[in-house]
Structure formats: C-alpha cells, structure tokens
Structure 1
C-alpha cells in the first residue's frame, strides 16, 4: 500500500491547486488526478446529482488501487463526502473542514465571509463546519457562479474578472468580514484579484495547504507514506476535452502535466 498512489478529483482543473500543495509537501508520493470536465462545473447542479458523480469517480479511483482519496472540489465535498466515506474502504478527505478550521483560527472579529459555487453555498457546509468550531462566529456566504467559468477559460487576470469579483464581493466588504474563505478550489487561481478587491487587511483562506497537511498525517498514521527513491508517477485523466485539460493543467500546475488520458463516461476501471 505504501507505493500506491493518492487519488484526487475535481469537476475540472481547480483541484490542481490542492494537488500542487500535496506535491510540495509530499514530493515522493504518486498521484492520480481526475478532472470531470465533461460534466463540470458542478456548482449549478443539484446536490444529489453531484453526490452521484462523486461516488462514481471515487469508486473508479479506488478500483485503480489508490490508497487515499482527496475530493479536491468544494461542491463535491459538500454534497458527497459523507456518502463516499461510507461506501469506500479507503480513507477519503474533503476540503471544507480544513478551510473552516483555517478561517476560525485566522479571524480577529469573528466575521467570516465564504464564497463558493451555488451548490456549496446552498449546502451550508461551511456554515456548519465553522459553527461547529465557533458557534458565535458570524458567517456571511456568497455564491459566485461565474468565477469558475473565468478560471476554466484561463482568464485569471484583467478588467473582466476583476469587475465580476468586485460585483460579488462588495456585499461582504460592507459586512466587515476580516477573513474570506475561498470556498472553491478554482479560486486560489484568482487569489491576486480577490485580494486586490478585498484589501490587504482581509485574510484569504484556501484549504489546499491544510488538506496537504491532513494527507501527510493520515498516511503517516497508517504507515502508508511512500519511501521509494524512484520518481513519483503523476497520472492525469479527464472526461471531456483533452486539449483543454492539457492547456490549463500546464498553465496552473506546470510541466508535470505531460499528457492527459480521456476516460469515457460512465467510468470503468482503466489499466493501472
């Protein structure tokens, strides 16, 4: 099990922000990444549908022999984490609780903003997770449905994205939040724009580094850390456009994205 890869998935390329953090923290670990770009973004979809996608992809990765799965997608974590954990035989981690924990630790005035997809905000997953840690915290949530589309197009800077970010975040600025949770794994890719709009006094929290820490702790506790000196294997799969996945993968992760395999839906196990 030590040499087995870690599995990760997202509705597209946003989860690569989590993968990058895990690669930095655990440079020996092999990783299989699946981007469901044929059906993403998940945000506008109903929670039961997202849950079914999450279970399908997680089961697919488990069948490929991964030793742990990270649901590197806030919408899929909010909709399906508990069901996936219940159904699979290997550890499954999400991204909501780490982000909530980081926000509670960072806030000074206990006014926390959360931005995410419609599905994530509708699920109230962040509100529950934050209040489980601090019942007195004020949580102000805002769905930002178009931001994922900007990122998936590779449009992470410029007046268009800045205007859209400002439109979404103005109400949170008026609420006086001192901490903002980037409740979508795509959002760290536009962190610079979000920071410019919110101002330097507002702390921006993304769950990628905290998730990487949890992955390390989980593998260490189980004795599953990879010890081989051989170079790790990074395998990238998608359900939609390979050209888009390669282009954006290289833009946001780097040259590690050498090739992407297209896997037909519904998912079936492919060669290891």
Structure 2
C-alpha cells in the first residue's frame, strides 16, 4: 500500500498550494488531485451541500486507490472532515487544526486573525480550534470571498488585485493582529499582496504547509511512506475548464507539463455520500 497515491481535494485551484508543499516535503509520494471548479465557490453554500460534494469527490479519489486523503480546502474541512474520518479507514487530514496550532505557536501576543471564505468564517471552526489551544487568545475573522474569485480567474498577479487586497484587509487597521491565518488554500497565491497590506510585523500562517507536515507524520507513524519506488507524475482532475486549470497549475507549481483530465460533475454524483462505498484498499 505504500506506493499508492495521496488524494487531495479542493473547490478549485487553491489546493494546488498544498500540493506544491507536498511535492517538497514528500517527493517520493504520488499525488492525485481534484478541483471542483464547476461548483465553485463552496464558501456561500450550505454546510450540508458542501459535505455532500466532498463525499462525492472522496468517492472518486478512493477509486484511484489512494492511501490517504487531504482536504486541501478550509470550507470542505469545516463541513466534512469529521464525516470522512468516521467513514474512511485511511488517514484523512484537513487544514484547520494544523493552521490553528501553528498560529498559536508563533503568535507573540495571541492576537490572531483569520481570513477565509464565508462558509469557513460562519462555521467558527478556526475560532473553536484556536480557543481550545489558547483560551485567552483574541480572534478576528474576516470573510474575503473576492480573493477566491481573482485567483480562479488567474488575476492574482494584477495590480488591481493588490488594491483589492489592501481595501479588504483595511479592517485589521482597527482590529490589529500579530498573526494572520490564510484560512483558504487559494490565499497563499496572494501572499505578497496580503503581507504588503498587513505590514511586516504581522506573521502569515499558511495552513496548507502545516497540513502536509501532519500527513507526513501520520504516514510515517502508520508505515505508509513510500520509500521503495519513485513517485509517478501527479494526476490532476478538474470539473471545470482544463485550460484555465493548467495555466494556473503550471505557473504556481513551476512545472512545464501537467496531466489534467476533465471529470464531469455528473460522474461525481454517482458516488453519493459514501454510504455503500468500500473504504479500505489493499496494495
């Protein structure tokens, strides 16, 4: 089972920021990623609907014989992580706990901000995770759905985007924090703009980077790390436009070629809510 791939899922291309870190930390591991661009954004959707979508994608990835699953999406993590952990026998990791732990550790004054989608902010998942770790922490949450839109439109290099980010994050001028969690995996693509808007004294925390460290540790503890063979070329799937996905993927991952396949949403729907899905695979 050690040579089987790790599955990653996201509502769009943002999860590629987590894949990029996985390629660094886990160079021997094969990767299968699905971005559900056709149903983006997840943030404004009801929690139950997001959980339904995530289980469909998980079913698809299980058919790729994955040995672990990473929810490379904060909204998906808030909506579906406990459900998948209860239903699947393989390791399942989300991004919220990992980012919260790092933020509490690096924060100098326990004044922590979170920027994320509407769904993640409304779920209060980060607030609960941080409060459990540091009961005296002050937490400021801000929904920034427009950030997802500009990343998905491949406009994260545009000058207008720098202004958008600055305008959105002006909230923190009157609600100061010393640490800011990028609570959406799309947001690291805007890290330079976000840092410029927040100032040099604010530490940015990329939840995706920390999540890869967690999955690496889990795989090691369960003797699932691939040490015997080279990684296969990563496989990418999108329910949306292949050309748009490929353009962003090449730019962010800095690779000349991507193996990208379109998966119709109707194909994902056959997986339902994993009620009758086999949840364990042998190597």
Question: Normalising to structure 2: TM-score of the pair?
Answer: 0.92
Residue 246 of structure 1, CA deviation: 1.0
Number of equivalences: 269
Residue 30 of structure 1 corresponds to 30
Give the Cα–Cα distance (whole angstroms) in 2 for the partners of residues 132 and 257 of structure 1: 43
Matches within 5 A, 1:1-272: 1-255=1-255, 257-266=257-266, 267=268
Shift of 1:129: 0.5
Describe the superposition over 1:159-181 as per-residue Cα deviations: whole angstroms up to 9, x where unpaired: 32122212221122321201000
Tell me the CA shift for residue 108 of structure 1: 1.2
- Distance (Å, rounded) in 1 between the aligned partners of 2:170 and 2:182: 15
Structure 2: where are the runs of 5+ without partners?
Answer: 272-283
What is the CA–CA distance in structure 2 between the aligned matches of 1:227 and 1:162, rounded to whole Å? 42
Gaps of 5+ in 1: none
Contact 2:166 2:193 survives alignment (8 Å): no
Shift in Å, 1:182: 0.4
**2: CA distance between counterparts of 1:73 and 1:200?**
26
Q: CA RMSD in A?
A: 1.4
**Cα separation, partners in 2 of 1:133 and 1:256, compared to 1, 3 Å:** farther
Q: Deviations over 1:18-41 (max 9, x none)?
A: 011111011000000001111112
Taking a change above 3 Å as real, the CA distance of residues 257 and 87 of structure 1, as seen in their structure-2 partners, is farther
Moved over 4 A (4+): none
Distance 2:223 2:88 in 1: 19
Shift of the alpha carbon at 1:208? 2.0
For residues 120-166 of structure 1, give each alpha carbon's deviation from its aligned partner in whole angstroms, at most 9, with x where no partner exists. 10100000000010011000000011110111111113332122212
Aligned to 2:280: none
Q: Could you tell me whether the CA contact under 8 Å between 2:11 and 2:40 is conserved in 1?
A: yes
Q: Is the 8 A contact 2:69 2:90 kept in 1?
A: yes
Residue 232 of structure 1 and its aligned partner are, at CA, apart by 2.6
Q: What is the CA-CA distance between 1:97 and the residue it aligns to? A: 0.5
